[in-house]
Amino acid sequence: MNERPAIKPYVIGLDLGGTNSVFGIVDSRGEIKATTAIKTQGFDNVEDYVAAAVEALQIIIDQVGGIGYIKSMGIGAPNANYYKGTIEHAPNIVWGKGIVPLADMFSKALGIPVAMTNDANAAAIGEMAYGVARGLKNFIVITLGTGVGSGIVVNGQLLYGHDGFAGELGHVTMVREGGRQCGCGRTGCLETYCSATGVARTAREILSKSDKPSSLRELDPEKITSLDVSIAAEKGDEVANEIFRFTGKMLGEACADFAAFSSPEAFIFFGGLVKAGELIMKPIREAYDAHVLNFMKGKAQFLVSGLDGSSAAVLGASAIGWDINPNE
Amino acid sequence: MNERPAIKPYVIGLDLGGTNSVFGIVDSRGEIKATTAIKTQGFDNVEDYVAAAVEALQIIIDQVGGIGYIKSMGIGAPNANYYKGTIEHAPNIVWGKGIVPLADMFSKALGIPVAMTNDANAAAIGEMAYGVARGLKNFIVITLGTGVGSGIVVNGQLLYGHDGFAGELGHVTMVREGGRQCGCGRTGCLETYCSATGVARTAREILSKSDKPSSLRELDPEKITSLDVSIAAEKGDEVANEIFRFTGKMLGEACADFAAFSSPEAFIFFGGLVKAGELIMKPIREAYDAHVLNFMKGKAQFLVSGLDGSSAAVLGASAIGWDINPNE
């Protein structure tokens, strides 16, 4: 190692979610020194959002000694364009319509460089910097949350594609005829089956198609969540287990196609659904082994994110910040 | 440009095919200065193959002034492992069973560095060095021949994955239930529908399922080739056109999934089927536009290889050779 003493030892990480915007000041070992948060949605326009963010940030910036100790800022956000530092047509953010130059706005307000990427890419960079992907150069992070996101790392670098929007694996088509309607306007996308919302849809479908007894029948079908399914499955509920087998099988088959693309050494799963543990991971691995090219069998690891859920996204975003002029 | 006079102005390119092995000595502008060829299959073991190859090569090496003028050698071959310089378990080469260290063997016999990659990757590098992909940094070459191969370029670099075997897009699963049997041992692979062989299978299926008149009915169904279909389609044969629409639709849908992966600026098609021109390219573009993520619509170009078929593979292989220690 050839490290000289860092003059600016911290970066700011911002996990910009649909509900909350969580900020952390992070050192180079991935320790979060201070955090704060504001609501993402309580603002009519992006100017008010940035002003409120900077006001909240000022307090924790002062806690670590002032802006002079902050090297840069990294943002993980939905619909983020890495090349341009913009949020583009984010359907779930009130002030995110059109093209919003958020990185530039924070950079001007704080006087430091700011980089931005989408939340799944931030998760991938976070895993590489601080998580289970340390030392790996070819892997795919799949985030199983409200949607299905992905961050693809190839030869140690995040895959951005020509326009910064590569890695939309939640929107590969898994069911070509009669697939579920997706929020993207198309049908049959992986996300419609394997997101938390997709799992709830599967639950309603399976419950309505059979008479098998299940504790899930005690719930209002329209209000079943993936967490309900997870709790029932852990108690041995057969229908709940069938729901996870269906979900895992589709994820495993999708990963077999992803392997034909980038031949990763690991798939890393991240997000709420992963809390189901082996209930979901086992059918993923089994479907993968049954569907991947023969000569690739047994080569890829299936890992679960090792980062603490609440701080992982902030760490991932902060890692984007370290990537700005890394030699400075 | 900051070029110093090249001391070793040539590389050897070897297009190692299932039938013929074609060698070319190529300069840095992609001009083929001399060529020779041997049969690939006429040898019981790889030692005899390499000995015959070196004997044939010696004549054209002498024509350009001797081995002192040759910088290196590049090989494009089926089942090639780029990282190890080996051919691994090549089902269609008599001496290609097991793991064959072909790059090392040529390197020892000729006294120059030798690099090897699979044929589709060689085509991608050839397109980037000398073809329609000059100046592009994110694109996918899809070769439509006996099989369907692919070379994926990301950020100006070929995507090899952790083991050198990335880019097997002929083996993504397009039909999940009741798909066609593939040579890889699985079912429903893109290759079983969109290779030259796949087109012939589609012809037999469509002819047997309907009574529509077609000039293809005059041929022995078991002997119909994609070239027959191409000739019939150009004459306006409706069944032949239907075959190309089916093939193009599946390729376009597959490309829509590939776009969700690496968001390329271009798809480049290469190989025998491409000679059908707009008969195949139009349904590819239409299916792509109908199936790709909305915000990606209209962003990717659909190109046909600009390299002359007979020399493209040799040029591609030679370009692998230039990549060895490019600063020397």
User: At A163, which CATH number?
Assistant: 3.30.420.40
Mean pLDDT computed over every residue of chain B? 92
Do both A83 and A202 map to the same domain? Answer: no
- Whether residue A12 contacts residue A318, with contact meaning beta carbons closer than 8 Å, is answered with yes
Residue of higher predicted confidence among B79 and A100: A100
Q: How far is CA A60 from CA A25, A34, A183, in A?
A: 8, 6, 37
> CB within 8 A of A98, min separation 6: which ones?
A88, A89
Chain-centroid distance, C-alpha A250: 19
- Please tell me the predicted confidence (pLDDT) of residue A325: 60
Give me the half-sphere count of Cα atoms (radius 13 Å) on the Cβ side of residue A144.
30
Q: For residue range B220-242, what is the model confidence (pLDDT) as tens digits?
A: 999 999 999 999 999 999 999 99
Rounded average pLDDT over B60-81: 94
Do both A276 and A177 map to the same domain? Answer: yes
Give me the half-sphere count of Cα atoms (radius 13 Å) on the Cβ side of residue B259.
28
Q: For residue range B250-288, what is the model confidence (pLDDT) as tens digits?
A: 999 999 999 999 999 999 998 888 989 999 999 999 999
Do both B276 and B154 map to the same domain? Answer: yes
d(CA A163, CA B296): 9
Do both B283 and B144 map to the same domain? Answer: yes
Q: How confident is the model at residue B322 (pLDDT cuts 50, 70, 90)?
A: confident
Rounded average pLDDT over B24-35: 93
Matching residue, tokens 């979901």: A280
Phi, psi of B191 (to 5 degrees): -60, -30
Q: Which domain holds residue B34?
A: 10-119+310-322
Using CB atoms, which residue from A154, A164, A299 is nearest to B163? A299
Q: Is residue A274 assigned to a domain? A: yes
Amino acid at A311: S
DSSP E strands, B61-171: 70-77, 80-81, 86-88, 99-100, 114-118, 139-144, 148-154, 157-158
- Which residues in B214-239 are b (16+ Cβ under 10 Å) and which e? bebeebeeeebebebbbebbeeebeb
What is the SS3 assignment for A233?
helix
- Please tell me the predicted confidence (pLDDT) of residue A327: 44
- Please tell me the predicted confidence (pLDDT) of residue A2: 43
Matching residue, tokens 């949350």: A145
Q: List the single residue in A with minimal CA-CA distance to B255.
A: A172
- Give which of B190, B191, B167 is closest to B117, Cα–Cα: B167
Amino acid at B207: L
Q: Is residue A146 assigned to a domain? A: yes
A186 contacts on B by Cβ (under 8 Å): 291, 293-294
- Please tell me the predicted confidence (pLDDT) of residue B3: 44
Task: List chain A pLDDT tens, one digit each, 328 residues.
Answer: 444 445 789 999 999 988 889 999 999 888 999 999 999 988 989 999 999 999 999 999 999 999 999 999 999 998 899 999 999 888 778 898 889 999 999 999 999 999 999 888 998 998 998 889 999 999 999 999 888 999 999 999 999 999 988 999 999 999 999 999 998 899 999 999 999 999 999 999 999 999 999 999 999 999 999 999 999 999 999 999 999 999 999 999 999 999 999 999 999 998 888 988 999 999 999 999 999 999 899 999 999 997 876 677 899 899 888 877 644 4
Strand order in the sheet with B266-270: B157-158, B148-154, B139-144, B266-270, B301-304
Give me the half-sphere count of Cα atoms (radius 13 Å) on the Cβ side of residue A173.
26
Residue B181 touches partner A, C-beta closer than 8 Å: no
Do both B165 and B107 map to the same domain? Answer: no
d(CA B218, CA B301): 38
> How many A×B Cβ pairs under 8 Å?
129
pLDDT for residue B327 is more than 50: no
Q: What is the ipTM of this complex?
A: 0.89
Q: Is residue A2 assigned to a domain? A: no
Do both A81 and A150 map to the same domain? Answer: no
Determine which of B79, B84, B155 to mutate to test the interface with A (most A C-beta atoms within 10 Å).
B155
**DSSP class per residue in A91-126:** TT-GGGSSEE-HHHHHHHHHTS-EEEE-HHHHHHHH
**What is the distance in angstroms between the Cα of A160 and the nearest Cα belonging to chain B?**
7
Q: Is residue A1 assigned to a domain? A: no
Token pair in block for residue A143: 């985030």
Do both A64 and A198 map to the same domain? Answer: no
d(CA A290, CA B185): 11
Q: Is residue A5 assigned to a domain? A: no
pLDDT for residue B310 is more than 70: no
Angle in degrees, CA A304, A307, A310, rounded to 5:
120
Do both A49 and A61 map to the same domain? Answer: yes
Residue A141 touches partner B, C-beta closer than 8 Å: no
Do both A108 and A181 map to the same domain? Answer: no
Cross-strand pairs, B74: B13, B115
Token pair in block for residue B82: 């780029």
How many domains is chain A built from? 2
Q: For residue range B256-266, what is the model confidence (pLDDT) as tens digits?
A: 999 999 999 99
- Whether residue A137 contacts residue A153, with contact meaning beta carbons closer than 8 Å, is answered with yes
pLDDT for residue B91 is more than 80: no
- Whether residue A170 contacts residue A150, with contact meaning beta carbons closer than 8 Å, is answered with yes
Q: Is residue B272 assigned to a domain? A: yes
- Whether residue B96 contacts residue B79, with contact meaning beta carbons closer than 8 Å, is answered with yes
Rounded average pLDDT over B80-92: 88
- Give which of B84, B85, B115, B102 is closest to B11, Cα–Cα: B115
Amino acid at B149: G
Do both A149 and A211 map to the same domain? Answer: yes
> CB within 8 A of A224, min separation 6: which ones?
A200, A203, A204, A216
B141 contacts on A by Cβ (under 8 Å): none
A295 contacts on B by Cβ (under 8 Å): 88-89, 165
Matching residue, tokens 């300069």: B27
Residue A181 touches partner B, C-beta closer than 8 Å: no
Element (H, E) at A39: strand A32-39
- Give which of B252, B36, B240, B227 is closest to B145, Cα–Cα: B227
Q: How confident is the model at residue B78 (pLDDT cuts 50, 70, 90)?
A: confident
Q: Do A262 and B165 touch (CB under 8 A)?
A: no
**What is the distance in angstroms between the Cα of B135 and the nearest Cα belonging to chain A?**
12
Q: Do B263 and A161 touch (CB under 8 A)?
A: yes
Rounded average pLDDT over B173-182: 96
Give me the half-sphere count of Cα atoms (radius 13 Å) on the Cβ side of residue B114.
24
Q: Is residue A157 assigned to a domain? A: yes
Cross-strand pairs, A270: A143
B165 contacts on A by Cβ (under 8 Å): 263, 295-296
pLDDT for residue B328 is more than 60: no
Q: How far is CA A227 from CA A200, A223, A296, B233, in A?
A: 9, 11, 33, 55
Q: Is residue A328 assigned to a domain? A: no
Using CB atoms, which residue from A165, A256, A260 is nearest to B263? A165
Do both A201 and A292 map to the same domain? Answer: yes
Do both B208 and B104 map to the same domain? Answer: no
